Amino acid sequence: MMPFKEMARLNKVIHEPARLAIMSALAACKMAEFLFLQELTGLTKGNLSCHLSKLEKAGYLVIDKKFVRKKIPHTTIQITPAGQTAIEQHWDQLERIREVTKQWNNSAHRLEKL
């Protein structure tokens, strides 16, 4: 396996750092509140909303918006089975790439300096 070709095949929707953080958190806890994810990722409300929308459009999560006492917004985000599979496959792919590149230290496949 050539890791550079494999890197080109990474899931671009998930690989973006903020979305990778979101998906990894949701894979661990299955469901989270918007404010928890905002605190966890350090993203602004607008930025987090944008990333969540992209992940929802991809079918990786479901966003549920409700109002508590008709005034206070309460948003929860839940990973879908497709999202769980996608994030697991993504991390597996990254681990395989990392293992191949670690082997280069002890093999003839070292990259030559230009």
pLDDT digits (tens, 9 = 90+) for 65-110: 998 888 888 999 999 999 999 999 999 999 999 888 888 766 655 5
Question: Mean pLDDT over all residues of the chain?
Answer: 89
The domains located in the chain, with CATH, are 3-99 (1.10.10.10)
Q: Whose CA is closest to 43, among 58, 25, 57? A: 25
Residue 114 has pLDDT above 80, yes or no: no
Q: Whose CA is closest to 20, among 2, 45, 40, 46? A: 40
Residue 7 has pLDDT above 90, yes or no: no
pLDDT band at residue 1 using 50, 70 and 90 as cut-offs: low
pLDDT digits (tens, 9 = 90+) for 49-66: 999 999 999 999 999 999
* CA dist., res. 93 & res. 15, Å (int): 11
| pLDDT at residue number 108 | 52
Report helix, strand or coil for 58.
coil
